[in-house]
Amino acid sequence: MPNASPLVEVMMKAARKGARVLSRDFGEVENLQVSRKGPADFVTAADKMAEEKIFESLRMDRPGYGYLMEERGAVPGTDKTHRFIIDPLDGTLNFMHGNPHFAISIGVEREGALHAGVIYDLMRDEMFFAESGRGAFLIDSRGVEKRLRISNPNSDFSTAVFATGTPWKGKPGHAKFLKELHKVMAEAAGIRRFGSAALDLAWVAAGRFNGFWERGLLPWDIAAGIVICREARVIVQELDTGDNNPLESGNIVCANEALMPEFLKRLQG
C-alpha cells in the first residue's frame, strides 16, 4: 500500500484484528450478549472484545500513545503528543439486528490536532484511510487502492443526496432535527439514514453522498472520518458555529465547497 504511512499501516492492522471478532459474531443475533448503556444505547460483548483486540495491537506497535475508546474510556500514555480515538463498532444497533452496515473507526491526534484516520467496513472489505497532508484513499475488496478527492463537486442542491443521523429514544433535539430534515428534504434529491456516522463520513469522501449532518456525536464516532473527508477536499465544520473543530460539541456538517452555503442555509435558517 504505497500511500499508507507506517502509522496508518499500524492502524489498519489493528482494525483488521478487531474485524475478526466482529465477523465471527455477526449474524448470531440470538446469541449476542447485549447490555444497555442508556435508553436505546446498547453495547455487545463483540464491541468490547473487538476494542480489546484493537487496543492490544496498537499498544504493541505504538506503546507510548494514549487512548480514548468508546468502551474503556481514556487511557493515558507516556507519549503525551499522540492519542488514538477508537470506536470498535460504529453501528452497534445495525450489528445487533443482522444489518451488515457498520465499521471500525480509528483516529489519531498529534499534539491535539486530528492527524490520521482509518475506517474499515469489514462487510464490504473496504478500508478508508487518510493522513494529514498525504491525501485520502480507499482500498477496495479487490485490494485496489484509489485516491479519494472531490475534484468535480456537485453544486446542484436539487440533485444532491445527503446522509444524516436521527436522534433516538432518550436523546434531545427531536423537534430541531425534524425542522432541519424538512428544510433539506424539500430541496434535495434524497436523504439517507444508514446508522453509522463513520461510514457516512467515509462515503461523503468517496462521493457516494454529497453531504452529511448530525448532532450529539462523540469523538470516536467522527475523529477518523473528519481526517478522511478533509483530505478528500470535503469541508467539515461545527454545525452551529462554523468552527473548524466539531469534536467538542459533536455537532457536525460536511459537504463540498460548492454545496456548503446552500446546505448551511437550510440547516441554520
Specify the pLDDT at position 39: 45
Report if pTM > 0.85: yes
The DSSP symbol for 108 reads E
Query: Could you tell me what percent of the chain has a pLDDT over 90?
Result: 77
The contacts found for 183-190 with CB under 8 angstroms, 24 or more apart, are 183/266, 183/267, 183/269, 184/263, 184/266, 184/267, 187/157, 187/158, 187/262, 187/266, 188/157, 188/158, 188/160, 188/161, 188/162, 189/158, 189/159, 189/160, 189/161, 190/161, 190/162
pLDDT at res. 48: 87
DSSP 189: S
- β 161-164/190-192 pair status: parallel
Using a pLDDT cut of 70, give the percent of the chain over it: 91
pLDDT at 224 over 90: yes
Judged against a pLDDT cut of 70, whether residue 36 lies above it is answered with no
- β-sheet bridge partners, residue 121: 126
pLDDT (0 to 100) of residue 29 = 52
Task: Give the integer Cα–Cα distance in Å for 42 and 48.
Answer: 12
**pLDDT tens, residue by residue, 42-57:** 346 788 889 999 999 9
DSSP H helices, 70-196, are 92-96, 174-185
CB of 46 closer than 8 Å to CB of 74: no
Q: Quick one: which H or E segment has residue 56?
A: helix 45-61
Tell me the backbone φ, ψ of residue 219, rounded to 5 degrees.
Answer: -55, -40
Rg (CA), the chain: 18
How far separated are the first and last CA of the chain, in Å rounded?
Answer: 44
Specify the pLDDT at position 106.
98
Domains identified in the chain and CATH numbers:
6-148 (3.30.540.10), 157-268 (3.40.190.80)
Q: What value does the mean pLDDT take over residues 27-45?
A: 52
pLDDT at 248: 92
- Residue 31: pLDDT band (50, 70, 90) is low
Q: Render pLDDT for 187-220 as a digit per residue (tens, 0 to 9).
A: 999 999 999 999 999 999 999 999 999 999 999 9
Closest CA to 209 of 191, 184, 187: 191
pLDDT at 87 over 70: yes
Distance CA 82, CA 84 (A): 7
Q: Average pLDDT, whole number, for the chain? A: 91
Can you tell me the mean pLDDT for 135-162? Answer: 91
